[in-house]
Structures are given as C-alpha cells and as structure tokens.
Amino acid sequence: MSKRPINRLKAVLAEQGKTNKWLAEQLNKNETTVSRWCTNEVQPSMDIFVAIATLLKIDVRELINPTKTEQ
C-alpha cells in the first residue's frame, strides 16, 4: 500500500499563485517547516490548517485529501 499525501497544501498554493515563502511569512513560521508540510513529511495542527484556509480564503476541507475512496 503506497503512502497517500494527507494534505493538498502544495497544490492549493500553486492554484493560488502563492509560495511556501509567502505562507511562512504570513504565519510567522520557518520556511523549512512550511516546506515539510507541503511535501507531507509532517502535518500542521488543525489550528494551523484553519489559519491557512483563512489566509487563502478557502474552506479548510480543501486543504485535506479525502480518506474515503469512491467505490
């Protein structure tokens, strides 16, 4: 079973023309931390997911890949 990415942060940032650096500055976080979120190496807390969604003006659910596959 291959490891599926949990978040869509990298894709959503690209869709909006935003960079990891921009997000790091907005959240006052280290760029390395944001990079690790974008590569799904680690996951941000739900509070951070909500803050990111607010910054990007999207529903927080758009940042997370569904876990249930359609049958």
Contacts of 23 (CB under 8 A, 6+ apart): 13, 29, 34, 52, 55
Separation of alpha carbons 38 and 40, rounded Å: 5
- Domains along the chain with CATH numbers: 9-62 (1.10.260.40)
The model carries a pTM of 0.88
**Which 8-state DSSP code applies to residue 44?**
-
pLDDT tens, per residue, the chain with 71 residues: 457 899 999 999 999 999 999 999 999 999 999 999 999 999 999 999 999 999 999 999 999 998 877 65
Take residue 61 and report the two structure tokens written for it.
């659910």
Given this model, what pLDDT does residue 71 score?
A: 59
Given this model, what pLDDT does residue 3 score?
A: 75
